[in-house]
Amino acid sequence: MGLYNDNPTLEGLEKTIDESKQGEVFSQSDFMYDPSGKKFYIESYGCSMNFSDSEIVASILGKEGFSPTKNMDAANLILINTCSIREKAELTVRKRLRIFEKAKKERQGTLIGVLGCMAERLKKKLLEEEQIVDLVVGPDAYRDLPNLIQSANEGDKGVNVLLSREETYADIAPLRLNSNGIVGFISIMRGCDNMCSFCVVPFTRGRERSRNAFTIVSEAKDLYDKGYRDVTLLGQNVDSYKWENPETKETVSFAELLIMVAEVHPDLRVRFSTSHPKDITKDVMYAIRDYENICKYIHLPVQSGNSRILKRMNRTYDREWYMQKVDEIYEIIPDCAISSDMIAGFCSETEEEHQDTLTIMEHAQYSMSYMFYYSEREGTLAHRKYEDDIPLEIKKRRLNEIIKLQGEISTAVNAKDVGQTFRILIEGDSKKSADDFKGRNSQNKMCIFSKKAGLKAGDYVQVQITESNSATLKGFIVESSDKV
């Protein structure tokens, strides 16, 4: 188990990113227990926002004299940054706490902390259910960690789950613990004002607030100067980003922010996640079209292809409107790739309504998707208003049909890339072979290609595609490239 478990999207499946640890440098002391109580180990589950938050936590702890370790047995402070979006994510955290319990018994004085959305959702109830837990800290309370740790060391439980309308951590430079030095994340906003009936995020991360645009650009410049060449702007709903300059009273929209970051340097690729269909504007599409280093890729979660179910989900759009939005994207950005999220078996979904999800997938031609069956979350609007009445076996069968169709679509979409040449940013060695590089193209498709002498991670190359499957493109380098 590595330092982090991360997802490429805010609503994505859990997966461990072991490949991204290439480039990390740890000395032998990083694996040794520190009796002074100043080493921390952190795992993060769920979305990319949690990944970013863990880097903020690491920075805050670093200023207090704590150093990170990738070995849990060397740590005096063990933290787990949690996700509550689905029951499976919380069950995974519970299992990890059993492992942490053993470490706590073996080393007296070791503190266990639960951070993030699960901490916010369960609050003090978590302390009752998991007696080994010493710290319960919500997403807006990380600045209070030093005080909470001191309280826990003195024998009290450290709890702060207060949500904030102002906190953005804009002044904290994240400590890039788990980076390959090429790909980085920048949090541009926090919270969510969309009350999708199935989603717990507004209750765990609070109201929407946007970060100072100039601090975002400054962070992007800093990352570029340190060798990073690919940044993802993160938010629960990036398209609703809106920051007002307190001095000039002028506002910065998401489209304007995208351009500001893109103009840091033409060799800095810019991505973003996640978009809400109702908020993405033509100005954003034009920015993607007009700036080559703003990647031609939009994650546009549909959740369901049926208008009645979408209304029950409180998604604020219907089937026809979403399909028109997809058409608009392809019209303005013909080479754009679109991905999505889908939920099978939402409350009262019929077989015919399930079929609508399959047909909207065919219309949108998603390059990939994150697919789930509905998991009821306590406290959400759906939990309060609707019966979770679709049997599990039907949910799983519908989900398998969605997964099967997406595999077929992804295979066909990627097959169209065979014979084409793409500019690829080398991100490191392929997971399967040290003889190959890996890297993504502008459309966020992972490419595998044989190495050439003199090239390294962070370089751009032209790769001609010779093979494809549902998940990966394969090819060979035709030339290096100094441009994005």
Among 83-97, 274-288, 405-419, name the one with the lowest average pLDDT: 83-97
Decide: residue 367, CB within 10 A, 0-12 exposed, 13-18 middle, 19+ buried.
buried
Per DSSP, the three-state class of 153 is helix
Question: Where residue 180 falls among pLDDT bands split at 50, 70, 90?
Answer: confident
Is there a contact between 291 and 442 (Cβ–Cβ < 8 Å)?
A: no
- As its CATH architecture, domain 200-294 has 2-Layer Sandwich (3.30)
* pLDDT number for residue 418: 98
Is there a contact between 269 and 231 (Cβ–Cβ < 8 Å)?
A: yes
Q: What is the pLDDT of residues 358-395, one digit of tens each?
A: 999 999 999 999 999 999 998 899 999 999 999 999 99
pLDDT at 483 over 60: no
Residues of the chain with CATH 3.40.50.12160: 19-160
Residues of the chain with CATH 2.40.50.140: 421-481
Percentage of residues in the chain having pLDDT higher than 90: 80
Please state whether beta strands 337-344 and 297-299 pair in parallel, antiparallel, or not at all (unpaired).
parallel
pLDDT at 18 over 90: no
Question: Average pLDDT, stretch 312-333?
Answer: 98
In order of 146, 158, 209, 303, 448, the CA distances from 154 in angstroms are 13, 10, 35, 47, 52
CA dihedral 97, 103, 106, 110 (to 10 degrees): -90
Residues of the chain with CATH 3.30.750.200: 296-415
Rounded CA gap, 360 and 305, in Å?
A: 5
Rounded CA gap, 227 and 181, in Å?
A: 6
Is there a contact between 279 and 253 (Cβ–Cβ < 8 Å)?
A: no
The H-assigned helical ranges of 336-424 are 351-364, 381-385, 392-415
> Domain 421-481 has what CATH class?
mainly beta
pLDDT at 469 over 70: yes
Question: Where residue 22 falls among pLDDT bands split at 50, 70, 90?
Answer: very low
* pLDDT number for residue 482: 54
Q: Give the residue from 139, 199, 192 showing the smallest Cα distance to 377.
A: 199
**Considering the chain, what is the average pLDDT of its residues?**
90
Residues 6+ apart with CB under 8 A from 75: 33, 39, 40, 41, 69, 103, 110
Neighbouring C-alpha atoms within 13 Å toward the C-beta of 340: 27
How many residues belong to the chain? 484
For 19-160, CATH number out of 3.40.50.12160, 3.40.1350.10, 3.30.460.10, 3.40.50.300 equals 3.40.50.12160
Q: What does the DSSP assignment read for 15-44?
A: -B--GGGTT----GGGGS--TTS-EEEEEE
Residues of the chain with CATH 3.30.750.210: 200-294
* pLDDT number for residue 85: 81
Decide: residue 450, CB within 10 A, 0-12 exposed, 13-18 middle, 19+ buried.
middle
* pLDDT number for residue 480: 63
Rounded CA gap, 190 and 328, in Å?
A: 28
Question: Average pLDDT, stretch 334-343?
Answer: 98
Percentage of residues in the chain having pLDDT higher than 70: 91
Please state whether beta strands 209-210 and 189-190 pair in parallel, antiparallel, or not at all (unpaired).
antiparallel
Element containing residue 446 per DSSP (H, E):
strand 446-450
Question: Where residue 252 falls among pLDDT bands split at 50, 70, 90?
Answer: very high
191: left (phi over 0), alpha (psi -120 to 50) or beta: left
Question: Average pLDDT, stretch 232-243?
Answer: 96
Q: Give the residue from 174, 177, 186, 225 showing the smallest Cα distance to 24.
A: 177
Is there a contact between 322 and 301 (Cβ–Cβ < 8 Å)?
A: no
* pLDDT number for residue 103: 86
* pLDDT number for residue 34: 57
Q: What are phi and psi of 464, to 5 degrees?
A: -90, 130
Q: What does the DSSP assignment read for 46-110?
A: SSHHHHHHHHHHHHHHHHTT-EE-S-GGG-SEEEEEE--SSHHHHHHHHHHHHHHHHHHHHSTT-
Q: What are phi and psi of 476, to 5 degrees?
A: -140, 150
Please state whether beta strands 111-116 and 135-137 pair in parallel, antiparallel, or not at all (unpaired).
parallel
Q: What is the pLDDT of residues 427-451, one digit of tens each?
A: 999 999 999 999 999 999 999 999 9
Is there a contact between 72 and 110 (Cβ–Cβ < 8 Å)?
A: no
Question: Where residue 19 falls among pLDDT bands split at 50, 70, 90?
Answer: very low
Q: Does domain 296-415 have CATH number 3.30.750.200?
A: yes
Among 11-15, 123-127, 350-354, name the one with the lowest average pLDDT: 11-15
* Lookup result for tokens 């180990």: 41
Neighbours of 484 (CB within 10 A): 21
Question: Where residue 23 falls among pLDDT bands split at 50, 70, 90?
Answer: very low
* pLDDT number for residue 21: 35
Rounded CA gap, 44 and 78, in Å?
A: 11
* Lookup result for tokens 């033509």: 282
Q: What is the pLDDT of residues 26-78, one digit of tens each?
A: 444 454 555 566 899 999 988 888 889 999 999 999 999 999 999 999 999 99
pLDDT at 11 over 50: no
The angle at the Cα of 42, spanning 40 to 46, to the nearest 5 degrees, equals 165
* pLDDT number for residue 438: 97
Q: Give the residue from 67, 46, 44, 58 showing the smallest Cα distance to 145.
A: 58
Question: Where residue 211 falls among pLDDT bands split at 50, 70, 90?
Answer: very high
pLDDT at 332 over 60: yes
* pLDDT number for residue 108: 83
Most confident among 99-103, 120-124, 311-315 (mean pLDDT) = 311-315
